[in-house]
């Protein structure tokens, strides 16, 4: 396996995987999405156990919650390849629900399937431990200049078409 370049994103992934007491962002804690088990260039894997408080009254997982898990996994996969001077934003998220999720552990995997200078395309699967597919997801993420890196190095990246010009 090729070693991943050291970036803000790969350092954060290593921190999440290698430090059991890593403080996750408040939104991740609130939603109980958990961390990450392993990663490599272009892929991630995590195992997730639903908390009973997250289940509907019939014992099923709320679909929006599955979408949040997928979005997190897709973001983790993007972090494995995002250049050091860039950040990304999800601009499209598609989730296909295949089976009803319940209170069983999920094996979640995500991969980067395409990368250009301005866009990442990623896919994820959420499966029960017996291999039954619960949901599959895909996303596109736009790459943007990391303003913190630009300020630190005094670089002026290309004008973002979404930002007003003087």
Residue 162 has pLDDT above 70, yes or no: no
Is residue 158 domain-resident? no
Structure confidence by residue, pLDDT tens digits, 7-17: 999 999 999 99
**What are the residues facing 145 on neighbouring strands?**
86
Alpha-carbon span 128 to 60, nearest angstrom: 13
47 membership: H or E segment, kind and range? strand 43-48
Residue 166 has pLDDT above 50, yes or no: no
HSE toward the beta carbon, residue 156, CA cutoff 13 A = 1
Structure confidence by residue, pLDDT tens digits, 29-83: 889 999 999 999 999 999 999 988 889 999 999 999 999 999 999 999 999 999 9
- Contact call for residues 105 and 131 (beta carbons, < 8 A): no
- pLDDT band with cut points at 50, 70 and 90 for residue 23: confident
**What are the residues facing 112 on neighbouring strands?**
122
End-to-end CA distance of the chain, in Å? Answer: 47
Domain, as residue range, for 113: 8-152
Is residue 3 domain-resident? no
CATH number at 97 reads 3.10.129.10
The total number of structural domains that make up the chain:
1
pLDDT value at residue 4: 73
Residue 118 has pLDDT above 90, yes or no: yes
Is residue 63 domain-resident? yes
Is residue 2 domain-resident? no
- Contact call for residues 110 and 77 (beta carbons, < 8 A): yes
- The pTM for the full model equals 0.85
Structure confidence by residue, pLDDT tens digits, 126-158: 999 999 999 999 999 999 998 765 565 555 444
Is residue 121 domain-resident? yes
Q: What is the 3-state secondary structure (H, E, C) of 85-114?
A: CEEEEEEEEEEEECCCCCCCCEEEEEEEEE
């Amino acid at each position: 396996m090729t070693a991943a370049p050291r970036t803000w994103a790969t350092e954060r992934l290593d921190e999440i995987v290698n430090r059991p007491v890593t403080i996750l962002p408040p939104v991740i804690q609130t939603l109980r999405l958990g961390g990450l088990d392993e990663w490599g260039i272009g892929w991630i894997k995590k195992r997730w156990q639903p908390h009973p408080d997250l289940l509907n009254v019939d014992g099923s997982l709320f679909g929006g919650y599955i979408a949040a898990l997928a979005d997190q996994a897709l973001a983790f996969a993007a972090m494995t390849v995002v250049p050091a001077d860039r950040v990304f934003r999800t601009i499209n998220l598609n989730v296909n629900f295949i089976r009803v999720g319940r209170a069983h552990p999920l094996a979640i995997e995500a991969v980067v399937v395409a990368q250009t200078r301005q866009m990442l395309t990623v896919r994820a699967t959420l499966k029960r431990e017996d291999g039954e597919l619960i949901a599959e997801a895909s996303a596109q993420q736009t790459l943007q200049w990391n303003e913190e890196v630009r300020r630190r190095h005094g670089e002026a990246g290309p004008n973002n078409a979404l930002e007003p010009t003087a």
